[in-house]
Structure 1
Amino acid sequence: MLLRPLRLAALLAVAVLVMSAIPASAAMRAHRTASAGVLAPAPLRAMWVWDRPGVASLVDFATSNGVGELFVHVPSAPSLGWYTNLRTRTRAAGIEVHALGSETWWIDDPEAAVAWQREVLATGLFDGVHLDIEPWLHADWDADRSALLERYLHLLDRMAESPVPVELDISFWLHEITAPDGGRLDEAVLARVDAVTVMSYRDTATGPDSITGLGGTALAAATRAGKPARLAVETNDLGATPVDAKQTFHGERRARLVNVLAQVDAAVAANAAYAPSYAGIAVHDRRGWAAMKR
């Protein structure tokens, strides 16, 4: 009677070991492989990097934590020394680097966004573009939402002309918002970008108010659209209230984060409604994750 649980435990252990040894580019490549009907490897982690830590320590941290893609913030007209060094080391480690842009005002000036995108891609240092543009932070979200969303989707149309994949951060509740065409905003977004990262910020894996509970609707929409989608977790301090605490792993140990993320992987894999779109988990962010106690 104990044989089946023991076998399951052994298989899960092997899966964790395989996940930590997979080469980079897991999110896009794993999704494409699965879409082609081929058994895909378990997806690696991705990580936002907003600061400029030492390059060697950043790459070591990413490698030791199974991170295959870095979303690295790039300002306009950056000094390229740090990025060049990072790219040299990440190529050697098999880690992809995506240029992270996050200006809310780009919604009102898409040409500035396109100019930034062209500038960073012209360096040849980036494998893709990752956008953290959140229209709900714009003043017009409450004042004139319909017009704002028209401009937001136009911005995504312009950014999607990129020669490299464009991935976008979205809220887990985006399906509740009506797009200008009368459909769902999450579906309108998925029609324009190559992939999404769902900000499913909770510190439990399953249940109604959990990472998969919040992210499941977006994963299902991504599956219907044939696009990869990641879930995401937070590690920074968001505040002292119970609502703040449930949205982040801040103050918890890294071992619990690893355990919960493995539970998310397993839960998503068992759900046929959205497993095909699943491209792994992104951790926000390097600074918060590195500060967690072992």
Structure 2
Amino acid sequence: MGGIPGAGRLRAPWVVLAVVLLLGTALAAPASAAVRLKPAAAGTRAMWLWDPGAVRPADVLTWARTRGVKEIFVHADARLPSSPARLARLKELKRGADAARIRLTALGGDPGWATDHAAARSWQRAVLGTKLFAGSHVDVEPYVLPRWQTDQAGLVAGMLRMLQLLQADDPRPLEADVPFWYHTVPAGPRTTLADAVLARVDAVTVMSYRDTVTGPNSLMDVGADMLARATKAGRPVRLAVETAPLADCVYCTFHEEGAARMTAALTQVDAAARSYPAFAGVAVHHYPSWRAMRP
């Protein structure tokens, strides 16, 4: 988190990337391209829910309602349609979320999806086919693969193609989690991975995991680039904070600071980010660790 995997490894060939970028022109633009951007109201939050089977839907929704959560990224895998118990639990969550006007999106992803497009498409068909979700929220981190060190361009091309396919397969919104440093990764001779992703999704959530709001290496410092690019691209963008303990990066999480200090910091983020029309609020990672934070 904080480092830049593969920085400096600007490898050719760009032929594959050029083909991917060219193919992208034949796909429909994301629906949000025509939407006039407006900063989210202060206090607008989202959160990740990685294990919906381990929590009571009523507890999740009460927590969400009292903390301004308007969207929950709910993890679901491709086996969901064949699991009656999981379906029942998510249907209960969906009924409560609808009543509370909280949006549920299907959360999924794997670094391998950058090259295994069939798996990504199969997942989306399965989870959206349940009609429980308003859209897809993907977390694909190809930079954790060893291949990123030897074939960054190939993985970049593969991930961009995957996003194009998911966008084309279903009209519902597609959102992607992205690290804040994608602007340092080339996606062709004249563009960056940050801009290329923005061109292929309806929104992004930036993993801007820091425990200070302003100043060097802060939330706003690492998040500003994507806020500016998303505003130019006409795409909503959330910043994100971490609440789980991270022994190897204590400045990446609010775990040590506690809930009250994080709440105060997010109020400052709302104020600081309002100058960017693309700002869509703050997403909190993730429900159990947020709930377990000390006051």
Quickly name the TM-score band, shorter chain normalised: 0.7 to 0.9
4+ residue runs over 2 A deviation: 31-35, 39-43
Paired position in structure 1 for 2:109: 102
Q: CA RMSD in A?
A: 1.8
Structure 1 residue 255 displacement after superposition: 1.1
Which amino acid in structure 2 is aligned with residue 71 of structure 1? F
CA contact (8 A) 1:62 1:68 kept: yes
2:294 is the alignment partner of 1:287: no
Paired position in structure 1 for 2:119: 112
Quick check: 180-189 or 65-74, which moved more?
A: 180-189
TM-score (norm 2): 0.83
Paired position in structure 2 for 1:257: 262
Structure 1 residue 288 displacement after superposition: 1.1
Structure 1 residue 182 displacement after superposition: 3.8
CA contact (8 A) 2:40 2:280 kept: no
Higher RCO (C-alpha under 8 Å, 6+ residues apart): 2
Paired position in structure 1 for 2:202: 194
Matches within 5 A, 1:176-191: 176-191=184-199
2:75 is the alignment partner of 1:73: yes
Provide the secondary structure at the position in 1 that maps to 2:282. strand
- Fraction of identical pairs, as percent: 44
CA distance in 2, matches of 1:101, 1:108: 15
CA distance in 2, matches of 1:73, 1:60: 19
Paired position in structure 2 for 1:266: 271
CA distance in 1, matches of 2:60, 2:273: 29
2:77 is the alignment partner of 1:58: no
CA contact (8 A) 1:43 1:279 kept: no
CA contact (8 A) 1:168 1:195 kept: yes
Structure 1 residue 33 displacement after superposition: 5.9
Match of 2:131 among 124, 132, 155: 124
Deviation by residue 1:131-188 (Cα, 9 ceiling, x = unmatched): 1101111221102111111111100111112211100011111101111354111001
C-alpha change, 1:150 and 1:34, in structure 2 (3 Å) is closer
Structure 1 residue 192 displacement after superposition: 0.4
Structure 1 residue 43 displacement after superposition: 5.8
Match of 1:236 among 221, 240, 244: 244
How many residues get paired? Answer: 256
Which consecutive residues of structure 2, in runs of 5 or more, have no partner in the other structure? 1-30
CA distance in 2, matches of 1:254, 1:180: 42
Provide the secondary structure at the position in 2 that maps to 1:223. helix
Deviation by residue 1:1-29 (Cα, 9 ceiling, x = unmatched): xxxxxxxxxxxxxxxxxxxxxxxxxxx99
Structure 1 residue 226 displacement after superposition: 0.6
Structure 1 residue 282 displacement after superposition: 0.4
2:54 is the alignment partner of 1:49: no
CA distance in 1, matches of 2:44, 2:257: 21
Which consecutive residues of structure 1, in runs of 5 or more, have no partner in the other structure? 1-27
Provide the secondary structure at the position in 1 that maps to 2:235. coil
Paired position in structure 2 for 1:6: none
Structure 1 residue 89 displacement after superposition: 0.7
TM-score (norm 1): 0.83
